[in-house]
Amino acid sequence: MALEQKLILASGSPRRLDLLNQAGIKPAKLMPMDIDETPKRSEHPRSLARRLSTEKAEAALSALRDDPAWRHSYILSADTVVAVGRRILEKTEYTDEAHAALHLLSGRGHWVYTGICLVTPGGKFRQNVVQTKVRFKRLSSREIENYIASGQWRGKAGAYAIQGIAGSFVQKLVGSYTNVVGLPLYEVMALLAGEGFDVAAGWPEG
């Protein structure tokens, strides 16, 4: 029975897929959901992460509703938001945006929020928002320029990926490291296990 369980990851993030694989879970299907991620007026970053992860799960559920092959699947979605106080740092696509974000993060703390949403085979929604406090060292102009040149900031919230070069910028981290990568594994595994998903079914045997 456990071998028949199916998990759909409503994300196209290679990092989230890698983290699930690291935990021994291989999604049966990847479904990147294209939704409007624009924050609402005065929306708190934590609320934004929760809302977007829920909307992605709802979109995936709606897309699969009439497909009997996926009717009894679990759907997992996530959205990560980086913020300084209530100021949300969106995904950077241009060098000037990356410069501004890195100068803002230099020498100070910021929050990383990841909203996770699990839809059970019975259609129940289970949600959580995980937060991690990260503090960057003070970055020199040369470090910022060299990091910009690496291109690792492109498409990243807050203009950095902690699993890359920017990991060397982190002076202190309080909370979940995998949350900053994009998927808090402890909380995800707890949600899945709590809803009857056998998280150890795909683990290798020694």
The residues carrying an active-site annotation are 79
β-bridge partners, 112: 82, 132
- Distant-in-sequence, close-in-space partners of 186: CB < 8 Å, separation ≥ 6: 176, 178
* Closest CA relative to residue 175, chosen from 167, 163, 187: 187
Instruction: Extract the tokens encoding 115.
Output: 């909203």
> Which residue in 129, 136, 135 sits closest to 174, CA to CA?
135
List own/partner pairs for 94-98 with CB under 8 A and 24 or more apart.
95/148, 97/159, 98/148, 98/153, 98/154, 98/159
DSSP 111: E
Beta-bridged to residue 174, according to DSSP, are 133
